[in-house]
């Protein structure tokens, strides 16, 4: 059989990182302490300090793993105009948001904590999102009389908030956020906003 070592730094490092990611995905950032991570990894917490320099170092280390995690977005297509492209992007992104509990935990974490580790993590994630957007955008341009970046930010922000909120309250402003039908309604509302603001008049 293969040479199985009882002591292997690389393996335990992976175990620690994986335990932290799982913990974040399942219980949220509040559970991300040295003790819990060590317990979840089946490892002494001393090793977290030795190999990563504590929780902060560990977070910085898993940042790249996380950004890669979210980098696996669907393939870009060609869209007829800016409105269609924005609509498709928002729809896709919202579905990802609804499926990936870890992403929601991460976004909530960004809202709650302002440590340096989180800032770098947000920065790289934001960068990767920007690249994805540019890829989908292609050479499409929004109408000159609307502030497309601000409008995109508004709609993304709304989806972020509603997705996080669905985990705890399950509704917002009288709009339920539980069933797929509930979310279809939200999606439709967002699409109507996009359509009307970008195609309000085709002179």
Partner DNA sequence: AATTTATGTCACTATGTGGTGACTTGTCAA
Partner DNA sequence: TTGACAAGTCACCACATAGTGACATAAATT
Q: 111 contacts which partner out of a second copy, DNA, none, CB within 5 to 8 A by kind? A: a second copy
Give the range of 38-46, 77-85, 94-102, 194-202 binding a second copy by CB under 8 A. 194-202
Q: Which of 60, 81, 100, 113 binds a second copy (CB under 8 A)?
A: 113
Between residue 129 and residue 188, which ones bind a second copy under the rule CB under 8 A? 129-130, 146-147, 149-162, 164-165, 167-169, 172-175, 185-186, 188
Give the range of 5-13, 15-23, 77-85, 121-129 binding a second copy by CB under 8 A. 121-129
SS3 state at 56: helix
3-state DSSP helix/strand/coil % of the chain, to nearest 5: 75, 0, 25
122-144 in b/e form (b: 16+ CB < 10 A) is bebbeeebeebbeebbeeeebee
20-49 in b/e form (b: 16+ CB < 10 A) is bbebbbeebbeebeeebbbebbebebebbe
Identify which of residues 36 and 165 has a Cβ nearer to DNA in the complex.
36
Residues contributing to the site for DNA (CB under 7 A): 5-9, 11-12, 33-36, 43-47, 49-50, 54-55
């Amino acid at each position: 059989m293969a040479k199985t070592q009882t002591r292997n730094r690389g393996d335990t490092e992976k175990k620690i990182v994986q335990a932290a990611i799982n913990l974040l995905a399942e219980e949220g950032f509040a559970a991300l302490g040295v003790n819990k991570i060590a317990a979840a990894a089946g490892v002494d917490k001393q090793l977290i300090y030795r190999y990563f320099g504590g929780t902060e170092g560990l977070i910085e280390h898993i940042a790249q793993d996380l950004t890669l995690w979210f980098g696996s977005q669907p393939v870009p297509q060609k869209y007829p105009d800016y409105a269609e492209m924005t609509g498709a992007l928002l729809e896709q992104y919202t579905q990802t948001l609804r499926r990936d509990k870890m992403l929601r935990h991460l976004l909530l974490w960004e809202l709650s904590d302002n440590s340096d580790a989180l800032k770098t993590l947000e920065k790289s994630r934001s960068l990767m999102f920007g690249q994805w957007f540019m890829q989908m955008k292609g050479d499409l341009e929004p109408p000159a009389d609307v502030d497309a970046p601000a409008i995109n930010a508004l709609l993304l922000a709304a989806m972020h908030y509603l997705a996080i909120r669905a985990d705890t309250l399950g509704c917002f402003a009288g709009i339920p956020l539980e069933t797929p039908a509930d979310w279809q309604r939200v999606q439709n509302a967002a699409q109507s906003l996009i359509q009307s603001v970008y195609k309000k008049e085709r002179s």
